[in-house]
Amino acid sequence: MLQNILFFVFAILAVAGAVMVISFRNPVYCALSLVLTLFSLAGEYVLLLAHFIAIVHIAVYAGAIVVLFLFVIMLLNIRREERAPGSIKYMVYLGVPLGLVLLYELVSIGFREFTDVYVKATDIGTVEKIGQALFSKYVLPFEITSILLLVAMLGAIYLSKQKLEIVSK
């Protein structure tokens, strides 16, 4: 019972954060709402007994990605862009119904199936089990990950240090 209450608390917080992300005009508020959603999702991972994923999720997303977002928002000083109109007006009236149709399609599966299977007590989500799998069977993807991160780092540095001279309007 307590688990269900916790699930609903985290779910409501996550959905509220997501709604705030897509509705606030100020990007800083959006980034802070994203933190709310990400922390709630970490709570959901704990309820699914995926402890390693929950910790890594907080460390990577709240610790790195959102901080990077905030750095860029503050670096660019884009507050004057806030109320710029789109080229297609009334995009909201097109986008929200499309999103609701997608929501109906996705949710109908969730309501129809997997309703009588429950979260099992299992130890596959512990740091020990994930580490054993990551360093034995999945060691090649894990090592390739490091190359991906290196390439991403080089790309980001190259893009930021580049001299940009062509200003065409």
Partner 1 sequence: MHGIPISYFLILSAILFSLGVIGVIIRRNVIIVFMSIELMLNAVNLTFVAFSNHLNNIEGQIFVFLVMVVAAAEVAVGLGLIVAMFRLRETVHLDDIRLLKW
Query: Restricting to residues 17-56, which ones interact with partner 1 according to CB under 8 A?
Result: 18-19, 21-22, 27, 30-31, 34, 37-38, 41, 44-45, 47-50, 52-53, 56
Residue 58 lies near partner 1 (rule: CB under 8 A): no
143 binds partner 1 (CB under 8 A): no
2 binds partner 1 (CB under 8 A): no
**At closest approach, how far in Å is the CB of 114 from partner 1?**
4
Closest CA to 14 of 60, 45, 53: 45
**What b/e readout covers 47-62, taking b as 16+ CB neighbours within 10 angstroms?**
eebbbbbbebbbeebb
Among 89, 136, 143, 162, binds partner 1 (CB under 8 A): 162
Of 9, 128, 133, 135, which one interacts with partner 1 (CB under 8 A)? 133
Q: Coil, helix or strand for 122?
A: coil
Q: How far is the CB of 106 from partner 1 (least distance, A)?
A: 3
- Taking the C-alpha atoms of residue 155 and residue 161, their distance in angstroms, rounded to an integer, is 10
Is residue 131 close enough to count as binding partner 1 by CB under 8 A? no
**Contact between 13 and partner 1 per CB under 8 A:** no
Record the tokens describing residue 91, joined without a space: 């995009």
How far apart are CB 12 and partner 1 at their closest, in Å?
10
**Minimum CB distance to partner 1, residue 148 (Å):** 5
Whole-angstrom distance, CA of residue 129 vs CA of residue 138: 12
End-to-end CA distance of the chain: 60
Task: Using the CB atoms, write b or e for 67-98: b if 16+ within 10 Å.
Answer: eebbeebeeeeeeeeeeeeeeeeeeeeeeeee
Single out the residue of 89, 92, 136, 143 in contact with partner 1 (rule: CB under 8 A): 92
**Residue 62 binds to partner 1 (criterion: CB under 8 A):** no
